[in-house]
Every structure is written in structure tokens, then in C-alpha cells.
Amino acid sequence: MIILDLETTGTDPQKHAIIDLAAMDFDNPSYVFHQPVRIFSKAEIQDEALAYNGFTLEEIKDPKRPSLQQVLSAFISWLEPIKDRTFAGQNPDFDVNFLETALKHCQFEIPLSHRKLDQHTLAYTAFLKLNKDIPLDETTKQSLLNSDAIMEFVGLPPEPKPHHSALNGVLWEAEAFSRLIYGKNLLPRFRSYKLPTYLKK
């Protein structure tokens, strides 16, 4: 399983660009990929997206940053030794759709699995098993288990904001997956955050 996280200039993979890409082999958490990306020339930029992820125009246009093609080539090489390439994350459809579009844009032929693991489903299932009430939006009556709520549930602080690094997303998500699936700590940096007793196996 690969924990994947991207930072982008917006929400539309056809118009917006990847500006930071990170991933981790969940079975081998020391095996990590992380590279910033220089935006392509015609990429559109949403001010809200940059406010959310904390990147500046100067950063994402910096000629010293590697191009999308260079980063994707390195990422494909990084994938080679991984046995299970099923992607997982907080919102994996968003990240995988962006990645798939970028790969096609750069004319890389690599199949990506349409099956993904999302953190919300695991947390929602854990709430049900524990007979806990799912927090719901009063208007829509839909789940409010966003990233911050899930981190609190598994005993972690919220991911830093603004994100300014896709690697943070990968680290927090990987730790949350480990606590939800196995009921144990995964990464040394989170060892001081106690696992809630209701998640211990």
C-alpha cells in the first residue's frame, strides 16, 4: 500500500498543477518519496489553493525546482521495488486523479489501480465498531470526519497548516492508518502521542 499526498494549484487536474508530491511504502515506512514540482507554463492557479497549502508564486515558479516530467520520472523509478501499489490517503481519489492526469500529460505509460483505500472509511468503520456516534453536519446530515477529526480520534495533533509540504500529509496519514488498522504506532516522530485505549488491539 502506498500512502500518497499531493499539493496542487487548484482542484481541476485538467487545468491546475501539482506543486509537491510525496509518497510512502506503508509496508516499509522508511522508503519515502518527496519532491517539489515547478508548475508548467499554462497551469492555472487558484489563490485559495495557495492559501491552503502555503506555497508562494515565487516558489512554484522557481526555475531551480524540477519539472513535472522530471519528478514523475523519478517517482516511477521509486515505485519499481514496491510490491503492493494500491494507493491510500485522506482523499485518494483527488490525488490519484491528479497523478493520472499528470502522467498522461507527460506521456508516461503506467497503469494506476482504480482501487484505493481512504482514511474516512476506516475511521467511520471504527466509530461504528465502537458504537460511537458519527459526527454529522446539521444541515446535510453527512459525516464530519475530516482529517482533523480523524487525527483527534487516533490520538494525533492536526496536520500543520498551511501544509506547505505533501510529506506532512503522508506522515500523518500513514500514522493514522497504522493506528486504525493495527492499533499501534508506526513512526518514531509520533511515539509521544499515546494511542487511545479504544484503538488498542
Structurally, the chain folds into a number of domains equal to: 1
| Cis, peptide link before residue 162, omega less than 30° from 0 | yes
Owning domain of residue 57 = 2-199
**CA dist., res. 155 & res. 191, Å (int):** 11
Q: What is the mean pLDDT of residues 60-68?
A: 96
Q: pLDDT for 23-63, tens place per residue?
A: 999 999 999 999 999 999 899 999 999 999 999 999 999 99
**Which pTM does this prediction carry?**
0.95
CATH of the domain at 144: 3.30.420.10
Phi first, then psi: give them for residue 8, nearest 5 degrees. -135, 170
